[in-house]
Chain A
Amino acid sequence: MTDLSRLTLGSTTDPYNRAAERGWDITDASQLTSSLELEADVVIVGTGAGGGTAAETLSKAGLSVVLLEAGPLKTSSQFDMQERAAYRDLYQEGTGRGTKDGGMVILQGRSVGGSTTVNWTTSFRTPPETLKFWAEQMGVSGCSVEEMAPYYQHMESRLNIHKWPQTPNNNNGMLQRASEKLGYSWATIHRNVRGCLNLGYCGLGCPVDAKQSMLVTTIPGALDNKAKLVHRARVVRVLRDGDVVKGVEAEALTPDVRGTTGQKITVRAARTILAGGAINTPAVLLRSDVPDPHGRVGKRTFLHPTTLTMGIYEESIDPFYGAPQSIYSDHFQWQNVHTGPIGFKLEVPPLQPAFAAGFYAAAGEEITQSMAQLNRTQCMIALMRDGFHEQSQGGAVEIDDKGQPVLDYPISDYLLEGVRRAFNVMLEMQFATGAQSARPAHKQAKHYATWKEAKAAVAELDVAAHKATIGSAHVMGGCAMGDDPKRSVANCDGKYHHLDNLYIMDGSLFPTSIGANPQLSIYGLVYKLSTNLLSQFQA
């Protein structure tokens, strides 16, 4: 077994410790005592994968850029690998975000760097099957494998994305062994890390800045290029004059980002880029009451609905330590691209204790006895590829009477069939590698001692919304790009169809889910879109 609690880590790497020396212009909106008015060539709403990439690209060309972020600026000096502070400070709604009926928990980042500050570093180019489907079925142009390749290459180089060279931890190793044993395809994951210490705390903020998140790459790059960063500033609406967008209006949040201080921030800009992610970007548009003649804003939101099984082994797994994701299997992913049952990708998650306990969704001795063996527990997850089949239309982002976003994502029978099938696949994999017991993530399930017993039990389970545990860490879509304004929100340059000077540059542009962890899909697409936008200024 491994014991990393004996390690002591220093934080010599935090680039924000030298912010003053480097002349960075950073404003904490919670400290404003009067309203703030700014002007820029470009205002970018959100500092995640989309906003960070756009900010560096545009500021490097000499444009003045203002970045607005609703979350706080938290940096590696503060990342102490404790779960409570990380969930409170770095996640949307303190990890309490869920779908409207509570059927799914949604993990999304909310601090400078967005979800890239807390993701597990898994980096895939958009799968060719997905790009082909977009071109053939969703009216997307300019995004073929060949056309996208240089943009992915650029971002892979910028973020040091490379195949993980170290031995997978046992949690991932078990996915590899099971795949080999059962004849399933598998491969090693590419990660955006530099000098990774293989600790396993990517989800709580990298304590040594090894993860090449936006927080330590493109945002410092943009700040070096004189971009201004205003954090704890929540954008309420876009400002417009007729059909022309003129900037945005934001409200300052309190230090804990749970309330407002009453101060306003107004940014007037020649171009406005929304990059708040696939829940907050449609929410800004809905709050702004923008023209939407075909009712497309916030529609077809996708989640990679994810379910899991837990297996307990005799040997130590230590699933809380080591690179969280290093092995995956697409064996069940692409049998049918858009016909037939839903496909899913197999991966594993890191299991720090409170996170694991929440994943278990069990009570009584079922949870306490299981959790007592967490160091010998392996977890498989199946990420469903939603949005390709006609029975998979995803969800819709709405705003409530206070303007807060709500995602209505009905859990369909089509999806639930995939959940039951995934339970069986993952349980068989765990028993095939010697699990002493295994349990599907279903409130009425328990740990079963054999594959035969588990298979019989899964056949009898009421696999329904709320009973089966389903979650999401990948929110995509809701502002689909495409050439046809009847079916999309933005054109293939990311420009909003019905207003001028308004652009969308984040995962909300995806017309379906990606079928892979989406960060590199966002980086590559936004690098392309922001490079194209530059030509407007240079013309």
Chain B
Amino acid sequence: MVGAAALSTMSAGATLSGCAPSGPASGMTILRPEDVELLRALTPAVMKGKIAPGDTARIDQTLQSFDTLMVDLSEPVVAGVLQAFDVLNMGLTRGLTTGQWSAWSKATLEDAESALARLRDSGIGLLNAIYAAVIRLIISSWYLIPENALTTGYPGPPKKVTRVAPGAAPVEEVTQ
């Protein structure tokens, strides 16, 4: 998804320049405390119009969905995503790649938007790839929550019942 092989060099540099990455954050299976801080800052920018910066309930719900999505991906993909997060989290590479020199917890909505735009518009393909992966994961996490999918004009899928009488017609229309 991000190009794990290409990322390993840069994130190794990021790791050397900062502190070592930690284990999962409380309540998360894969996302680490520093990833949670990063995603709290980026999510309202990526989902602008749906999530306001102070809307912790919606941000937390999206992060939980993100963590579940990470569990559902493969080990090499997760490794690549975490390496991308290392680049965005560690002081020096964070500042150089996104212009965010203070911690993500201090970032405003405008800071987050500016960081995303720098990654998107960079002449370095690897940063464009990080941008593509991060926004895809955040927006997928949000729209994978069934109630959010319904905000698109999508009425939802048909209802599936697993047990019906043998010989019953495969479809019946339920009148309201």
Tell me which residues from 58 to 94 in chain B have a Cβ below 8 Å from any Cβ of chain A: 68-69, 72-77, 80
| Contact in complex: A93, B74 (CB < 8 Å) | yes
| Contact in complex: A354, B144 (CB < 8 Å) | yes
| Contact in complex: B72, A81 (CB < 8 Å) | no
User: Assuming the A-B contacts A80-B157, A80-B160, are A367 and B46 also in contact, with contact meaning beta carbons closer than 8 angstroms in the complex?
Assistant: yes
Q: Is A4 an interface residue (CB 8 A)?
A: yes
| Contact in complex: B168, A10 (CB < 8 Å) | yes
Q: Is A7 an interface residue (CB 8 A)?
A: yes
Q: How large is the interface on B (under 10, 10 to 19, 20 to 34, 35 or more residues)?
A: 35 or more
| Contact in complex: B160, A444 (CB < 8 Å) | no
| Contact in complex: B164, A466 (CB < 8 Å) | no
User: Assuming the A-B contacts A6-B174, A96-B73, A372-B153, are A102 and B1 also in contact, with contact meaning beta carbons closer than 8 angstroms in the complex?
Assistant: yes
Task: For the complex, give the distance between the alpha carbons of A369 and B36 in Å.
Answer: 26
Stretch at the interface among A286-294, A358-366, A384-392, A503-511: A358-366
Question: How many contacting A-B pairs (Cβ < 8 A)?
Answer: 219
| Contact in complex: A466, B157 (CB < 8 Å) | no
Q: Is A35 an interface residue (CB 8 A)?
A: no
Q: Is B10 an interface residue (CB 8 A)?
A: no
Stretch at the interface among B20-28, B99-107, B127-135: B127-135
Q: Is B167 an interface residue (CB 8 A)?
A: yes
Q: Is A11 an interface residue (CB 8 A)?
A: yes
Q: Is B9 an interface residue (CB 8 A)?
A: no
Report the minimal beta-carbon distance from A151 to chain B, rounded to whole angstroms: 32
Tell me which residues from 110 to 129 in chain B have a Cβ below 8 Å from any Cβ of chain A: 113, 116, 120-121, 125-126, 128-129
Task: For the complex, give the distance between the alpha carbons of A9 and B156 in Å.
Answer: 13
Report A-chain residues with C-beta under 8 Å of the C-beta of B116: 363-364
Report the minimal beta-carbon distance from A89 to chain B, rounded to whole angstroms: 9
Query: A393-414 vs B: 1/0 string, CB under 8 Å?
Result: 0000000101010100000000
- The chain B residue sitting closest to A99, CB to CB, is B3
| Contact in complex: A469, B132 (CB < 8 Å) | yes
Q: Is B149 an interface residue (CB 8 A)?
A: yes
Query: A350-377 vs B: 1/0 string, CB under 8 Å?
Result: 0011101110111111011101111110
Q: Is B54 an interface residue (CB 8 A)?
A: no
Query: A447-482 vs B: 1/0 string, CB under 8 Å?
Result: 000000000000000001111010000000000000
| Contact in complex: A94, B73 (CB < 8 Å) | yes
Task: For the complex, give the distance between the alpha carbons of A469 and B120 in Å.
Answer: 12
Task: For the complex, give the distance between the alpha carbons of A469 and B139 in Å.
Answer: 15
| Contact in complex: B149, A7 (CB < 8 Å) | no
User: Assuming the A-B contacts A96-B74, A364-B49, are A443 and B152 also in contact, with contact meaning beta carbons closer than 8 angstroms in the complex?
Assistant: no
| Contact in complex: B170, A6 (CB < 8 Å) | no
Q: Is A19 an interface residue (CB 8 A)?
A: no
Query: A54-88 vs B: 1/0 string, CB under 8 Å?
Result: 00000000000000000000000101111110011
Q: Is A296 an interface residue (CB 8 A)?
A: no
Most central of A354, A356, A363, A373 by chain B CB within 10 Å: A363
| Contact in complex: B167, A12 (CB < 8 Å) | yes
| Contact in complex: B128, A466 (CB < 8 Å) | yes
Task: For the complex, give the distance between the alpha carbons of A207 and B136 in Å.
Answer: 27
Report A-chain residues with C-beta under 8 Å of the C-beta of B131: 443, 466
Q: Is A197 an interface residue (CB 8 A)?
A: yes
Q: Is A320 an interface residue (CB 8 A)?
A: yes
| Contact in complex: B156, A11 (CB < 8 Å) | no
Report the minimal beta-carbon distance from B65 to chain A, rounded to whole angstroms: 8
Most central of B72, B76, B126 by chain A CB within 10 Å: B72
Task: For the complex, give the distance between the alpha carbons of A176 and B120 in Å.
Answer: 35
Report B-chain residues with C-beta under 8 Å of the C-beta of A402: 76
Q: Is B55 an interface residue (CB 8 A)?
A: no
| Contact in complex: A365, B48 (CB < 8 Å) | yes
Q: Is A101 an interface residue (CB 8 A)?
A: yes
Q: A9, A357, A374, A464: which contacts B153 (Cβ < 8 A)? A: A374
| Contact in complex: B46, A364 (CB < 8 Å) | yes
Task: For the complex, give the distance between the alpha carbons of A239 and B169 in Å.
Answer: 49
| Contact in complex: B132, A4 (CB < 8 Å) | no
Q: B77, B151, B158: which contacts A9 (Cβ < 8 A)? A: B158
Query: B135-176 vs A: 1/0 string, CB under 8 Å?
Result: 110111011101011011111111111111011111111101
| Contact in complex: B144, A83 (CB < 8 Å) | yes
- The chain B residue sitting closest to A77, CB to CB, is B162
User: Assuming the A-B contacts A7-B171, A102-B6, A363-B116, are A96 and B176 also in contact, with contact meaning beta carbons closer than 8 angstroms in the complex?
Assistant: no
Task: For the complex, give the distance between the alpha carbons of A93 and B49 in Å.
Answer: 31
| Contact in complex: B139, A100 (CB < 8 Å) | no
Report B-chain residues with C-beta under 8 Å of the C-beta of A102: 1-3, 6, 80, 129, 132-133
Report A-chain residues with C-beta under 8 Å of the C-beta of B158: 4-9, 81, 199, 207
Report B-chain residues with C-beta under 8 Å of the C-beta of A105: 1, 136
| Contact in complex: B132, A466 (CB < 8 Å) | yes
Q: B48, B77, B120, B169: which contacts A368 (Cβ < 8 A)? A: B48
Report B-chain residues with C-beta under 8 Å of the C-beta of A9: 158-161, 170-171
Q: Is A103 an interface residue (CB 8 A)?
A: yes
Q: A1, A83, A363, A467: which contacts B45 (Cβ < 8 A)? A: A363
Report B-chain residues with C-beta under 8 Å of the C-beta of A233: none
Task: For the complex, give the distance between the alpha carbons of A352 and B146 in Å.
Answer: 11
Task: For the complex, give the distance between the alpha carbons of A406 and B80 in Å.
Answer: 12
Q: Is A21 an interface residue (CB 8 A)?
A: no
Report the minimal beta-carbon distance from A311 to chain B, rounded to whole angstroms: 15
Q: Is A201 an interface residue (CB 8 A)?
A: yes
Taking A1-B153, A93-B76 as given, write out 15 further A-B residue pairs in contact, using a Cβ cutoff of 8 Å, ordered by the A residue number. Answer: A7-B171, A7-B173, A97-B77, A99-B3, A101-B5, A102-B80, A195-B170, A197-B170, A353-B154, A363-B135, A368-B49, A375-B152, A375-B154, A443-B120, A464-B128
7 pairs of residues in contact across A and B, judged by CB atoms under 8 Å: A4-B157, A10-B172, A97-B74, A357-B140, A372-B151, A406-B5, A467-B120
A-B CB proximity, top 4 nearest: A375-B153, A10-B164, A102-B3, A466-B128
